[in-house]
Amino acid sequence: MWLIVGLGNPEAKYAGNRHNVGFMVIDELARAYGPVSWRSKFSGQAAEIFVETDQGRTKVLLLKPSTFYNESGRSVRAALDFHKLKPEQVCVIHDELALVPGKFRIKLGGGSAGNNGIKSVTSNLGPDFWRMRIGIGHPGDKNKVTPYVLKDFSKSDRQWLEPLTDAIARAFSLLLTNKIDGFQTRVTHLAPAPPE
């Protein structure tokens, strides 16, 4: 079993924000592998999907914490404890200022790079969980970061965003069978980042 968590903020006014790209990927996975039944659980919205892989049928819990972005770790910890999972069975999807818009990277462990949502998850789980990072670019001035991440994706961003969320869903079974390099390559092939 895997726990796949999207970081974001729960209110409707945040739905299109750059900070909510984690929720957007979770919604695409639910669409691709659903229909799903969302339930209020683990201080969030949770739903189960089942994905056919070359190793059989894999159960996945999708989770969108309702704690707001910077407190996401409490929700993740509650789900992890309930299902008796290890941190390496958890993948957190989040926006990444240090990557250009549309760039996609996945890695196990590491630091938070100043991301308060990742800091919260790390403080609750330790660092050894998977991070699916989606580049949103940097506004160029650290004082502009908060309004930038809490602003909706631009029209030009939408040109890479939908193909990327679709590519993640199409390549998803590779992640679930620990073919991490293959997953990264497949997503990048299906939805290459726009030129810098």
62's tokens: 């999708």
Q: Parallel, antiparallel, or unpaired for β 44-53 and 56-65?
A: antiparallel
For the question of residue 19 being annotated catalytic, the response is yes
CB count in 10 Å sphere of residue 177? 15
> In which order are the strands placed within the sheet that holds 104-108?
39-41, 44-53, 56-65, 2-6, 90-96, 130-135, 104-108
Beta bridge partners of 104: 134
Q: For residues 146 and 41, what is the distance between their CA atoms, to the nearest angstrom? A: 28
E strands within the chain?
2-6, 39-41, 44-53, 56-65, 90-96, 104-108, 130-135
- Beta carbons within 10 angstroms of residue 140's beta carbon: 8
> Are 17 and 34 a contacting pair, CB within 8 Å?
no
Q: Active site residue: 19, 94, 138, 189, which one?
A: 19
Q: Which helix (H) or strand (E) holds 20?
A: none
* Catalytic positions: 19
